Structure 1
Amino acid sequence: MNIYDKAHEFANELKNLPEVVEYRKKSQEVNENEDLRKMIEDFRKVQFEAYTEQMQTGKIKDETKIKMQEVANVVMLNPEVSAYIQAEAKFAVIWEDLLKILNEAIGVNVIAPNGN
């Protein structure tokens, strides 16, 4: 069996993983509902704003923290959006673990633009 066959086998296993099935289901539900999709988009915008501030200045503005908390409260009160975010988080842990395994197998340290 060659590496491409194994990759397809791996992809099939991943596709059928319960966490992936749940994430796909919740994603479809959210994408079919304009209000839910907008709510998540707003949540992501505030997350990105906070991340950008953190990276540029080393801290997050108080206004951004408040806005982030307000949006998070609204998002978490909605059961569909909350379920989507939880499913996404579970998938993200698995994906991060898989990438770590693959990177370790390759054995090459990627050099960041700043030299670290």
Structure 2
Amino acid sequence: MTTYDKAHELAKALKNSDEYRSFLAAKNSVEADAQAKQMVQDFIARQMEVQYEMMSGKPEDKNKVEQLQKMYELLIVNSKAKDFVHAHMRFNQIIGDIYKIIGDSVAEGMDFFAKE
């Protein structure tokens, strides 16, 4: 079996996972509620902005973090928005874990690109 066959097998397993199905169900539910959809889009956009700033080495902006927390507190009041964000986070955790597993498995070869 080739590496590509394994990749397709992994893709199929992800697509059939409970986490992905829950994510799709939550996505369909939130898309049917314009207010919930907007809340989720605003929250995720702000969350990504804060994460990108932190990854780029900028100091944490306490005001943005507080805004993000307040947005989350409002978001979880809406069950559709809350369910979507939680399903999204669970599925993203799986994807992140898979990336880490793959990265760790080939780390020895990637050290060539590390600065000395």
For normalisation by structure 1, the TM-score amounts to 0.77
Which residue does the alignment assign to 2:103?
103
Could you say if the C-alpha distance between residues 106 and 51 of structure 1 is closer, same or farther in structure 2, counting changes exceeding 3 Å?
A: closer
Are 2:4 and 1:4 equivalent residues in the alignment?
yes
Percent identical residues = 26
Could you say if the C-alpha distance between residues 35 and 2 of structure 1 is closer, same or farther in structure 2, counting changes exceeding 3 Å?
A: same
Which residue does the alignment assign to 1:59?
60
Unaligned runs of 5+ in 2: none
| CA-atom RMSD in angstroms | 2.5
Query: 1:52 offset after TM fit, Å?
Result: 4.9
**1:23–1:88 contact (8 Å) kept in structure 2:** yes
Q: How many residues align?
A: 113
Unaligned runs of 5+ in 1: none
Where do 1:32-71 residues align within 5 Å? 32-54=32-54, 55=56, 57-62=58-63, 64-71=64-71
Per-residue CA deviations over 1:80-111 (Å, capped at 9, x if unaligned) read 11111111111122111111111122234375
- Name the structure, 1 or 2, with higher relative contact order (CA <8 Å, separation 6+): 2
For normalisation by structure 2, the TM-score amounts to 0.77
